[in-house]
Structure 1
Amino acid sequence: MVIAGESLKFKLSEIAEIHAGIYRKPDLYGDIIYLQVKHFDNKGNIISDKISSKDLKLNKRLKKHLLQNDDIIFAAKGDKNFAFLYHHKLGPAVASSSFLVIRIMDSQKKRIKPEYLHWFLNHPFTQALIKMQAKGSALPVISKAVMENFEIPIPSLKIQMQIKKINELWKSEKSLMQKIISQKEKMYQMILYKQANGEQING
């Protein structure tokens, strides 16, 4: 633990348990979702139509690997690194071996919110620092040891919740702006196309 201003810095291993996902070949008929990198876009958002099928049959061995509510899975292999906050509403799921599963310790749940840790791991500055420690050129890999030793600044719970709220507002605003830009793009392209075809443009 390191004291830095109004935040305490902890190694990730001091606040969370980290273990690797599993490798399994899909079953013909399954009960649970087998989360893979292909199920996410570049920003770590679920592509819903890609997880419509359940790929693995639940058994005793797999049961211990089931994700728990508020687990964070971190894409540790390849160029697309992101953190995803799992919620049980998605359905029973296990993470593939492309991920590290990060589970906040019970003793630390009053210190850090999973939403804050999820946000911090996805922050561009954090991503850049983590990527610098990746090994391999053809398939860069971020090791469990790198993540265990990565320092996480932990402000007060009040500030964590403020960060969560502001981040959600910004995401909503950005989504709205993108929709407006998309509509304007369609409108202007239609106007220009009509003009190219000799139609009178009013205004």
Structure 2
Amino acid sequence: MTQTLGDFVDISTGYPFRGRIEPSKEGEAFVVQARNIGPDGEIFTDSLVCSELTGKKDPGWLKFNDIIFLAKGTKNTASLVKDLPDNTVCSPHFFRLRVKASKQKSVLAEFICWQLNQEAAQRYFKVSAEGSLQVSIRKTILQDTSIALPDVATQNSLVELHRNVIREKKTYEKLIENRQLEMAAIASVLLKKPMTTDEQNDY
């Protein structure tokens, strides 16, 4: 029997803002927008804007271990909610996914999030996207995403492996950044004055 995402999570839309999301010091909610999502799905909390909630719909505050899925645009990234303010919503560009109460003991939200970002799911989203000026994924398409669900122990192992990969990636990126800064400093010295033999030996 094929298992789909809709078997494990409840899916709802992001908050329906009317028009642009305008920053407001008196706003009652922080808003996660597409610009706040990093390449690996991390949510950049430092750049969240505070805004007024227009309309009367229930805010649908994001909770710990919710998943937000970027449904509009060409990069359909899934992000796990971790350390966000309690009064945070996501924009209409997202769907909010929450593991069903009946599945809490057998399904890890972080594992579902990881699987949605893998090649098989991303390929499915790419061929299923609709629209011309701006492509998007419909809710029914997202619900029908095929999901492989091993036992919880295996889910935990894969999640931990993924965390290690992300940590290693960030470490290497930092090393590369430091090396680039070092090379830029060397270039700056070279442009200012000829290097002596001793200076060349230092490098």
TM-score category of the 2 structures, normalised to the smaller one = 0.7 to 0.9
Q: TM-score, length-normalised on structure 2?
A: 0.85
Question: Which of these residues, 154, 164, 168, is aligned with residue 169 of structure 1?
Answer: 164
User: Is the Cα–Cα contact under 8 Å of residues 5 and 147 in structure 2 kept in the other structure?
Assistant: yes
Partner deviation per Cα, 1:43-101 (whole Å, 9 max, x = no partner): 332223321x42135997324x2223211110001123211112364332122211111
Match of 1:67 in 2: 62
Report the Cα offset of residue 138 of structure 1.
Answer: 1.4
- Count of equivalent residues: 194
Residue 29 of structure 2 aligns with an amino acid whose one-letter code is I
Report the Cα offset of residue 198 of structure 1.
Answer: 1.0
Q: TM-score, length-normalised on structure 1?
A: 0.85
Question: Which of these residues, 30, 34, 37, is aligned with residue 31 of structure 2?
Answer: 34
User: Is the Cα–Cα contact under 8 Å of residues 76 and 125 in structure 2 kept in the other structure?
Assistant: no
User: Is the Cα–Cα contact under 8 Å of residues 121 and 127 in structure 1 kept in the other structure?
Assistant: yes
Match of 1:128 in 2: 123
User: Is the Cα–Cα contact under 8 Å of residues 31 and 58 in structure 1 kept in the other structure?
Assistant: no
- The reply to whether residue 117 of structure 1 matches residue 112 of structure 2 is yes
Cα RMSD (Å)? 2.2
Question: Which of these residues, 38, 42, 45, is aligned with residue 45 of structure 1?
Answer: 42
User: Is the Cα–Cα contact under 8 Å of residues 30 and 54 in structure 1 kept in the other structure?
Assistant: yes
User: Is the Cα–Cα contact under 8 Å of residues 32 and 58 in structure 1 kept in the other structure?
Assistant: no
Percent identity over paired residues: 25
Q: 1:33 to 1:76 in 2, by over 3 A?
A: same
Of residues 136-145 and 16-25 in structure 1, the stretch that sits farther from structure 2 once superposed is 16-25
Question: Which of these residues, 17, 23, 36, is aligned with residue 24 of structure 1?
Answer: 17
